[in-house]
Amino acid sequence: MRPADLTRRKQGGLAITMLTAWDALSAAVVAGAGVDAVLVGDSLAMVVLGHATTLPVTLEEMLHHCRAAGRGLAAAAAHHPPLLICDLPFLSYQCGADEAVAAAGRVLKETPAVAVKLEGAEPETLTVIDRMVRSGIPVMGHLGLTPQSVHQLGYRRQAGDPVSQERLRRRALALQEAGCFALVIEHVPAELASELSASLVIPVIGIGAGDGCDGQVRVTADLLGLTSRQPPFSPPLMEGRALAVEVLGRWVREQGPAAAPAPTPATRPASPAAPHC
Ligand code: KIV
């Protein structure tokens, strides 16, 4: 798969599917499911690194996880690998166009990803996207709920009123004009997402944005029910976490009685005396 193949799918009226992966194992699983695109999303900061937001994850960490995901895809889908896309993390593309192009370039040079994704459509971001695209780096945009702006926007639904809907329309068009090959749109009204899908040439891939988009993306750990907090717009398909705890707990119990309580200091065997100096 190449970025242009997503546009061909849209033109052919075929739905586009994208799932996140964070290592070789998860990438092999989603490739086995037959997705069109695999996103090494910066949601891995929360899902697998245990951070409270996506902000702390570094470019080095994203490169590390993307290389691992790439190895999983190569092993699982050698003939028809899905499109591998890597999120640019917070502050890797906001501190100047040169630094941003260099960060995106590292993704393409040091991992098997063929495209990057970044959030927002501020004038500086549009400049950066233009520079990346003219350097040969395919860019996917991301509007609506943009988790890297959590301290300004929170995690609530975006574009609820006519003014912010008009702003979102303008920003989506600006991303297309800047050269993005596709757009993720997160947690916005379904009618707006569907209207954008119809009006833009590039594919619009939704999450929490209704069924009228050209494609859908989900955080794989959410779909599998592995995360402790599910976003309201991404319900799990199974209770993976509870199931894993149950079957692993059964295995632990099958090994025999639980370990005896740790000895108290009084019963602990005397340790060799510390040497006197
Ligand atoms: O980081 C991520 O997983 C994402 C998806 C929610 C689209 O950006």
pLDDT tens for 120-158 read 999 999 999 999 999 999 999 999 999 999 999 999 999
The one-letter code for the residue type at 218 is: R
Residue 41 Cα to ligand 1 midpoint, Å, equals: 5
Tell the residue nearest (CA) to atom 8 of ligand 1: 41
Question: Is 42's C-beta closer than 6 angstroms to any atom of ligand 1?
Answer: yes
Question: Is 176's C-beta closer than 6 angstroms to any atom of ligand 1?
Answer: no
> Where does the chain show beta strands of DSSP type E?
16-20, 37-40, 83-87, 115-117, 139-144, 182-186, 204-207, 215-218
Question: Is 87's C-beta closer than 6 angstroms to any atom of ligand 1?
Answer: yes
Convert 208-229 to b/e letters by CB count within 10 Å (16 or more is b).
bbbebbbbbbbbbbbbbbbbee
What DSSP element (H or E) covers 229? none
Residues β-bridged to residue 140: 117, 182
Question: Is 107's C-beta closer than 6 angstroms to any atom of ligand 1?
Answer: no
Question: Is 215's C-beta closer than 6 angstroms to any atom of ligand 1?
Answer: no
Q: Which pLDDT does position 265 carry in this prediction?
A: 61
Please identify every residue annotated as catalytic: 186
Does position 233 have pLDDT exceeding 70, yes or no?
yes
Of 35, 40, 42, 86, the one to substitute when testing ligand 1's pocket (max ligand atoms within 8 A of C-beta) is 42
Does position 247 have pLDDT exceeding 50, yes or no?
yes
**pTM for this model (two decimals):** 0.92
* Chain centroid, CA 242 distance in Å: 23
Residues β-bridged to residue 115: 85
% of the chain exceeding 70 in pLDDT: 93
Sign, Cα dihedral of 208, 209, 210, 212: negative
Q: Which pLDDT does position 269 carry in this prediction?
A: 41
* Under 8 Å between Cβ of 203 and 6: yes
pLDDT tens string 152-198 = 999 999 999 999 999 999 999 999 999 999 999 999 999 999 999 99
Of 17, 92, 186, the one to substitute when testing ligand 1's pocket (max ligand atoms within 8 A of C-beta) is 186
Q: CA 65, CA 235: separation in Å to the nearest integer? A: 25
* Under 8 Å between Cβ of 142 and 116: no
DSSP code for 240: H
Residues recorded for the chain? 277
Does position 264 have pLDDT exceeding 70, yes or no?
no
Question: Is 207's C-beta closer than 6 angstroms to any atom of ligand 1?
Answer: yes
% of the chain exceeding 90 in pLDDT: 87
Q: For residue 105, which of 80, 138, 69 has the smallest C-alpha distance?
A: 138
* Under 8 Å between Cβ of 110 and 142: no
pLDDT tens string 15-57 = 999 999 999 999 999 999 999 999 999 999 999 999 999 999 9
The band of 273, judged by pLDDT with boundaries at 50, 70 and 90, is: very low
Tell the residue nearest (CA) to atom 1 of ligand 1: 41
Mapped onto helix, strand or coil, the DSSP state of residue 48 is: coil
